[in-house]
């Protein structure tokens, strides 16, 4: 039996409700991870979370080649409110996009919105792949929830549907805008594609009073770097 110090136990996201004493079934992928990668067996401990019921200490009661059952026994952390920050970004090449999804999850973004712009590198979106990346990042970073992943939306439609009471900070390169600052409470961050927003898109964005242009500094950042830096700056004030 492996040590059961909670800080060193495997941590898994599950979709099921969590309640002390109520068994939870794990799918084949998580079973493989526990048995083949982590070498866990019956009686070993693990941590479970689902974004609703907090984080629980559980122990494996059954494990086979393709399935496992564990029983939650102790509430380790109650579910807490998290900063409500949406990241809207133009999809990039696959590796760069996946980096944004991973780091945005680690930094606490509550919603990821792929935005189709004139200069997008790609319009191909793989929501299932994004969710798998987000799940692994949340497990590793000890985050208590996963970000929601929206359907792709064109920039005009994004702005038309954007809640007027949620400030949207748009990171604009080569601008005289003030440095990015973090409003307290719900907010959004908008990151354009490699090459930036097209001139007509910038003009259209200026017509929306909830949108605030901001600078990330004097250097021209890659789009994936801009997303990470912008989120870190916004989350710092909101405790994310």
Q: What is the pLDDT of residue 112?
A: 98
Residues linked to residue 88 through DSSP beta bridges, in sequence order: 113, 190
Q: CA 115, CA 135: separation in Å to the nearest integer?
A: 21
Angle (nearest 5°) at CA 33 between 32 and 36 = 65
Q: DSSP class of residue 226? A: H
CA atoms within 13 A on the CB side of 181: 6
Find the mean pLDDT for residues 148-162: 96
Q: Indicate if the pLDDT at residue 4 is higher than 70.
A: no
The token pair that represents 77 in the structure block: 């952390």
The answer to whether residue 181 scores a pLDDT higher than 80 is no
pLDDT given for residue 8 in this prediction: 87
pLDDT higher than 60, residue 199: yes
Measure CA 12 to chain center: 15
- Report phi then psi at 23, rounded to 5: -60, 150
Architecture (CATH level 2) of domain 85-238: 3-Layer(aba) Sandwich (3.40)
Structural contact between residues 59 and 73, judged by C-beta atoms closer than 8 angstroms: yes
Mean pLDDT of 172-201: 84
HSE-CB of 225 using CA atoms within 13 angstroms: 8
CATH homologous superfamily of 6-77: Hypothetical PUA domain-like; domain 1 (2.40.240.20)
Residues comprising the chain, all counted: 240
- For the cut 70, the answer to whether the pLDDT of residue 3 exceeds it is no
Residue 179 confidence class, pLDDT cut points 50, 70, 90: confident
> Is the torsion defined by CA of 119, 122, 127, 132 positive or negative?
negative
Map 169-214 to HEC letters.
EEECCCCCCCECCCCCCCEEEEECCCCCCCHHHHHHHCCCCCEEEE
pLDDT at 2 over 80: no
> Where, residue-wise, is CATH 3.40.1280.10 in the chain?
85-238
For 214-233, what is the mean pLDDT? 90
How much is the mean pLDDT over the chain?
91
Interacting residues of 159 by C-beta distance below 8 A, sequence separation 6+: 168, 204, 205, 208, 211
- The whole-model pTM stands at 0.91
CB atoms within 10 A of CB 95: 8
Axis-axis angle for helices 94-106, 127-141 (nearest 10): 40
* CATH 2.40.240.20 intervals, the chain: 6-77
For 78-129, what is each residue's pLDDT tens digit?
A: 999 888 999 999 999 999 999 999 999 999 999 999 999 998 877 788 999 9
Q: DSSP alpha helices (H): ranges in the chain? A: 28-32, 94-106, 127-141, 155-161, 199-205, 223-238
Per-residue pLDDT, 6: 81
């Amino acid at each position: 039996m492996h040590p059961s110090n909670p800080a060193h136990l495997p941590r898994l996201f599950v979709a099921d409700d969590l309640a002390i004493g109520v068994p939870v079934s794990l799918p084949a992928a998580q079973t493989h991870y526990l048995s083949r990668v982590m070498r866990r067996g019956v009686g070993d401990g693990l941590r479970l979370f689902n974004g609703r019921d907090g984080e629980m200490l559980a122990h494996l009661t059954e494990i086979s080649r393709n399935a496992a059952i564990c029983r939650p026994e102790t509430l380790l952390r109650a579910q807490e409110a998290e900063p409500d920050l949406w990241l809207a970004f133009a999809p990039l090449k696959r590796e760069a996009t996946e980096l944004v999804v991973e780091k945005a999850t680690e930094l606490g973004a509550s919603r990821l919105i792929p935005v189709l712009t004139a200069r997008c590198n790609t319009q191909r979106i793989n929501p299932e792949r994004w969710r798998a990346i987000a799940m692994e990042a949340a497990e590793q970073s000890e985050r208590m929830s996963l970000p929601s992943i929206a359907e792709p939306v064109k920039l005009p439609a994004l702005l038309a549907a954007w809640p007027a009471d949620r400030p949207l900070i748009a990171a604009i390169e080569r601008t005289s805008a003030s440095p990015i600052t973090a409003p307290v409470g719900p907010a959004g961050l908008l990151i354009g594609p490699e090459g930036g927003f097209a001139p007509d898109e910038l003009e259209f964005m200026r017509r929306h009073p909830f949108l605030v242009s901001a600078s990330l500094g004097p250097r021209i950042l890659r789009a994936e770097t801009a997303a990470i830096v912008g989120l870190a700056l916004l989350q710092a004030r909101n405790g994310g």
